[in-house]
């Protein structure tokens, strides 16, 4: 199976686990590490809003916890029928751990998705090499 399709499936599956009682906006994400491992995550809301965490960060932090420090691809699905792009905080976290050619896959549904280079999404980012 094509790796992008696998990431799309994992993100869609992860979306089902979202805890979004306040916004009702369920998001799923899947990331592919440099070692070709897949980690998935979903958004988890909180009544206080600030402690809410996005799906992309959940997936990335799970990968980092397991020792994977480089992400090659990130797949994101929100409301089916629309493309959902990562928020600013997630873009910064992706930047921290993405490879130089990292791809972002935004998913409309199982059959429709777009692939962008991270630099298209966040062209003038601040990252580890900026320090």
- Count Cα atoms within 13 angstroms, Cβ side, for 49: 2
46 is in an annotated binding site: yes
44 is in an annotated binding site: yes
Among the listed residues 10, 34, 56, 120, the single catalytic one is 56
Q: Is 56 a catalytic residue?
A: yes
43 is in an annotated binding site: yes
Q: Which positions ≥6 away from 4 have C-beta within 8 Å?
A: 73, 75, 105, 113, 115
Buried b (16+ CB within 10 A) or exposed e, 50-64: eeebbbbbbbbbebb
90 is in an annotated binding site: yes
User: What are φ and ψ of residue 102, in 5° steps?
Assistant: -55, 140
23 is in an annotated binding site: no
87 is in an annotated binding site: yes
Q: Which residues pair with 73 in a beta bridge?
A: 32, 103
42 is in an annotated binding site: no
Which residues fall in the annotated binding site for substrate? 43-49
Catalytic residues: 56
Which residues fall in the annotated binding site? 43-49, 54, 87, 90
Which residues fall in the annotated binding site for Zn(2+)? 54, 87, 90
């Amino acid at each position: 199976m094509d790796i992008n399709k696998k990431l799309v499936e994992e993100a869609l599956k992860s979306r089902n686990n979202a805890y979004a009682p306040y916004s009702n906006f369920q998001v799923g994400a899947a990331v592919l590490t440099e070692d070709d491992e897949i980690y998935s995550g979903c958004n988890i809301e909180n009544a206080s809003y600030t402690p809410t965490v996005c799906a992309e960060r959940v997936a990335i932090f799970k990968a980092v916890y397991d020792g994977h420090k480089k992400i090659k691809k990130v797949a994101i699905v929100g409301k089916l029928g629309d493309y959902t792009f990562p928020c600013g905080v997630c873009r910064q976290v992706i930047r921290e751990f993405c490879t130089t050619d990292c791809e972002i896959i935004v998913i409309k549904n199982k059959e429709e998705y777009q692939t962008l280079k991270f630099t298209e999404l966040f062209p003038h980012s601040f990252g580890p090499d900026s320090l």
